Structure 1
Amino acid sequence: MHWITRPGWPGNLLAMAAGALTTLALAPFDIWPLALVSLIVLYLGLRELNPRQALVRGWCYGFGLFGAGTSWIYVSIHTYGGASALLAGLLMLGFIAAIAWFFALPTWLWAKWVRRNNAPLADALAFAALWLGQEAFRGWFLTGFPWLYSGYSQLDGPLSGLAPLGGMWLISFTLALTAALLCNLPRLRMNRSALIGGVVLLLAPWGLSLALKTHAWTSPAGAPLSVAAIQGNVEQSMKWDPAELDAQLKLYRDMTFTSKRADLIIWPETAIPILKESAEGYLSMMGKFAADRDSAMITGVPLRQLGGHGEYRYYNGITVVGEGDGTYLKQKLVPFGEYVPLQELLRGVITFFNLPMSDFARGPADQALLQAKGYQIAPYICYEVVYPEFAAGLAAQSDLLLTVSNDTWFGTSIGPLQHLQMAKMRALEAGRWMIRATNNGVSALINPFGKITETIPQFQPGVLYGEVVPMHELTPYLRWRSWPLTVLSVVLIGWALVARRVKRQTASCADAL
């Protein structure tokens, strides 16, 4: 306990280890209690630190979290980005050191302005509010990096019933509040009213979640639809090679032609690795095949459009042929994978900064959903499914959810399984079926409770067959999003700031007297 609460490197290293523990609470390990342990260590470790010490402690926690949880970045840079092992390691360390500041700044703020050691119940509530603010800010600043949120640990845990109420955000808030309340129970025992309030706050969210775990917030909007999701397992080294284009188009064509009849035929992200305008004949052929089967076919394909200044802009997109309609342009782009920040300086420095198709533009925000077989489908291309609020905005207009991806960039790392876990959470939050079609796995069908009903092996070609059910009605989270929790958090932090200021003024007056 002494190492946890006092300043110095023993405590900082322990905070780093605590951050790494969160990775074990998430996919593919799913040891959910470790998320709570991690938060307990962080909360206790900030109790006696001054702002500068808290900043270092928070940075160490973030470094441990991202160092353990984003190891797949090394695979992307080294194996597929062409960087040497040394350079890839240095780039990864630089990235981790930079994003660890997402924890350093809130912990500095906590120690300087928000912490209330003399009011343990209010202190626990303020800690949960600031923790939520940290996660929200991390998902927004500079397009965001909404990865490794603690709430995902509860997808198969006791708090999963809260997801349709307040999304993953409510779960994260509850975990932080629980951790702080458990730490403060000895202090709360000195005040009977505070103790009763603390116990109620501690137990109520867990009891509510358990009561709601099997509650269906949405209902079927029609009969089940059969699905055939094609997993081509095309090597990343072949993906954008012009010499391999015909082989890839033939692969998806033949796998589709020999598949069982299905209402929805789904191909993954950029399954057609050439511009849509160059593949019109091919798409027309596949559209006729789908229509003859009374099917809708949805595929990833890049597009270009003429911009206002007479220059073409390129987009990562999805289009529908056969018994459906619509084209969607990706809005949330992956830095370096789909666009290069400061590209005037970085392009050409190493191969990683000049990857194929790394000059995409962002699609407009006011796009219509895809339509297939008479239903509205909310599309998410790869990275987009990890943004809770963005995903909820599309899901609220939809009957079905669809995410297509090419997780080949992650290799055999834990990245694809983390990505899948976030897609499962989106289905649970929305109370809707999710179709997930990827190039090399994990392709899956996910029900409205966030459970996989069908999947096929990773790293091999195959066709995923199953059924999904269009759903209507909105979960509370789709209806209200994170606004109620945001308002509560702002009030709690504001309360802490005002109370601390009043205490300081009172102390100054007492000293003056």
Structure 2
Amino acid sequence: MKPFRENFNFSRPILGDVIALVAGVVYTLAFAPFNLSYAVFPALACLFFATLALSPKRAALRGYVFGLGQFGLGVSWVYVSVHDYGGGGLLGSLLIAGLFVGFWALFPALAVYLATQLPYKRSSRLLLCPLLWVLVDYLRGRIVLEGFPWLQIAYSQLDTPLAGYIPLVGGYGTGLLAALSAALLVGIASKPKSSLWMLASLAGLWIAGGWLRTQAWTQPIGEPIKTALIQGNVAQDKKWLPETRIGTILRYSQMTEAHWDSQVIVWPESAVPAYLSDVYDAFLLPLGQAAKAHRTDLIVSVPSYGNTEGEKYNSVITLGREAGMYRKVHLLPFGEYMPWQPVSGWILSHFNMRLSQFTPGRPDQPLLSAGGYRFSTSICYEDAFAENALRGLPEAAYLVNATNDAWFGDSIEPHQHLQMARMRALEAGRYLLRSTNTGATAIISPEGKVLSQAPLFTATTLTGTIEPMAGLTPFARLGGDAPIVLFMLALLLMILIEGNTQVIGACLGKARRCEGKP
């Protein structure tokens, strides 16, 4: 049988680029709502295989084409947000969405460029590609523009045996194991005669992950809490209109009053289409008093003003037996604040787009309480980052996320966002109450499973029970992603030192041979 490389010559420019584009699309099919979890492995295997025969520049182009397929499908919802709800016209929305996709496609290109450019021993090749893929993903997901972690490989593995590693090493650690699985496939296909150890490694990795999925890292500490999550289904383009404001407030009030038998009631992000000071006395104060009379705690999301002019926060407050406020810390770039000023501001004003400008809250805010227990709060985009869920542990007995995915309409974004929320529950070992305006409202278990979910674009209340949890997962004990990423950087450094030693040794050997010639 011919080696894989002889059967499929990925070094041919046009064929290789077409395959890379298709592979990028296939990669994205592993994520929600498509949920073809195993598709990431042949997709990444195709990309990694291309690095074996291409020059650094050609590999970078191949990676960029892969990224265009990956993000072209994976973040197609940007067009919906800009055009339908941001006020952008057709051409302007297409341009902004295209620039967005083109920018993030640079990161797969960077990963494969480095994989072909950096010195390394041939035996380290199978580890170098996965390491660089995940480290560049970390750069994209946590550092550039304060992070855009969409389509991080581990999110696609929540329903596979690799999910067993998430409570131990989190999303980036599990992502390394997933990318390593793809690299092992490349090794097996490239060298079928010497692939026994690679097959054994791949099987052992997945068998161990399956066993780890059976382990419980946290435990219940009290009686179940009866909860109600309100999904008002208020269209984003109507939500802030003056003529619909009272109707929206009455809708949430009436849906709440029908569930006074619940111990905790959660409203979605910015459920109240007005600032806190404008509606507190007339609306929220009486509602809080009614909640207290029924021994119920309300978790309400409402924007609020700060103490200085122009200071505005995206906030969550608690009403009922205990009052408190949380102000969103990790704001959404281009949605809640404008990076790259003044260029970004000029672009948005040129296309007549309307976006908010919020102030970030302090990271050391005290935990809120509801249902007799403290909980960790996140607002919308914050549930894309592990540190936001871990910040309140171990004191937090459960997690609450208030989200407004109405900005993205009937696109794939709400499904992707729910998938990311599942990761946070699994990393923390806590139940997660996720209330959204139009979907996907859900109750998620400490194992990252969706226990119940409300249908999208329906005004409804999702009821259920959760258990307050105690204890820490190994990932939470580590303190999050930082130690895992530092380990990967150290591993990369070892590979580079080993590779440079080999290069220097080869040069010295060549020099000695030259000295011996007449």
Q: TM-score, normalised by structure 1?
A: 0.93
1:13: Cα distance to partner?
2.3
1:170: Cα distance to partner?
2.4
Match of 1:182 in 2: 185
What SS class does the counterpart of residue 317 from structure 1 fall into? strand
What SS class does the counterpart of residue 223 from structure 2 fall into? coil
Residues 191-211 of structure 1: CA distance to partner in whole angstroms, max 9, x if unpaired?
7xx954x44532332111111
Residues 118-175 of structure 1: CA distance to partner in whole angstroms, max 9, x if unpaired?
21xx221222221220111111212111101111111111211111111122221111
Change (3 A) 1:324 1:208: farther
Q: Which runs of 5+ in 1 are unaligned?
A: none
Could you list the runs of 4 or more consecutive aligned residues of structure 1 that deviate by over 4 angstroms after TM superposition? 1-4, 186-191
Q: CA separation in 1, counterparts of 2:12 and 2:415?
A: 36
Alignment of 1:27-426 (within 5 A): 27-114=32-119, 116=121, 118-119=122-123, 122-140=124-142, 141-185=144-188, 196=197, 198-281=198-281, 282-307=283-308, 311-341=309-339, 342=341, 344-352=345-353, 354-355=354-355, 358-426=356-424
Contact 1:28 1:417 in 2 (8 A): yes
The one-letter code sitting in structure 2 at the alignment partner of 1:380 is: S
Change (3 A) 1:447 1:24: same
What SS class does the counterpart of residue 311 from structure 2 fall into? strand
Match of 2:516 in 1: none
Residues 86-143 of structure 1: CA distance to partner in whole angstroms, max 9, x if unpaired?
2211211111111111122222111110554x21xx2212222212201111112121
Answer with 480-489 or 154-163: which moved more. Answer: 480-489
Contact 1:164 1:428 in 2 (8 A): yes
Match of 2:442 in 1: 444
Specify which of 451, 457, 460 is matched with residue 459 of structure 1.
457
Q: CA separation in 2, counterparts of 1:384 and 1:288?
A: 30
Q: Which runs of 5+ in 2 are unaligned?
A: 513-518
Tell whether 2:473 aligns with 1:475: yes
Answer with 56-65 or 430-439: which moved more. Answer: 56-65
Q: TM-score, normalised by structure 2?
A: 0.93
Identical aligned residues as a percent: 36
Contact 1:23 1:65 in 2 (8 A): yes
The one-letter code sitting in structure 2 at the alignment partner of 1:123 is: R
Contact 1:230 1:463 in 2 (8 A): yes
Answer with 388-397 or 100-109: which moved more. Answer: 388-397
Answer with 502-511 or 282-291: which moved more. Answer: 502-511
What SS class does the counterpart of residue 510 from structure 2 fall into? helix
Q: CA separation in 2, counterparts of 1:435 and 1:429?
A: 15
What SS class does the counterpart of residue 349 from structure 2 fall into? coil
The one-letter code sitting in structure 1 at the alignment partner of 2:492 is: I
Q: CA separation in 2, counterparts of 1:394 and 1:60?
A: 41
1:228: Cα distance to partner?
1.0
Q: CA separation in 1, counterparts of 2:408 and 2:445?
A: 25
Q: CA separation in 2, counterparts of 1:372 and 1:382?
A: 19
1:189: Cα distance to partner?
7.0
Contact 2:120 2:500 in 1 (8 A): no
Q: CA separation in 2, counterparts of 1:187 and 1:404?
A: 48
What SS class does the counterpart of residue 255 from structure 1 fall into? helix
Contact 2:120 2:498 in 1 (8 A): no
RMSD: 1.9
What SS class does the counterpart of residue 261 from structure 1 fall into? coil
Residues 218-264 of structure 1: CA distance to partner in whole angstroms, max 9, x if unpaired?
10121110011111111111111122211111111111112351000
What SS class does the counterpart of residue 234 from structure 2 fall into? coil
1:348: Cα distance to partner?
2.4
Q: CA separation in 1, counterparts of 2:482 and 2:351?
A: 43
What SS class does the counterpart of residue 324 from structure 1 fall into? coil
Contact 1:114 1:126 in 2 (8 A): no
Q: CA separation in 1, counterparts of 2:391 and 2:120?
A: 34
Contact 1:233 1:461 in 2 (8 A): yes
Contact 1:324 1:374 in 2 (8 A): no
The one-letter code sitting in structure 1 at the alignment partner of 2:386 is: P
The one-letter code sitting in structure 2 at the alignment partner of 1:399 is: A
The one-letter code sitting in structure 2 at the alignment partner of 1:452 is: V
Match of 1:496 in 2: 495
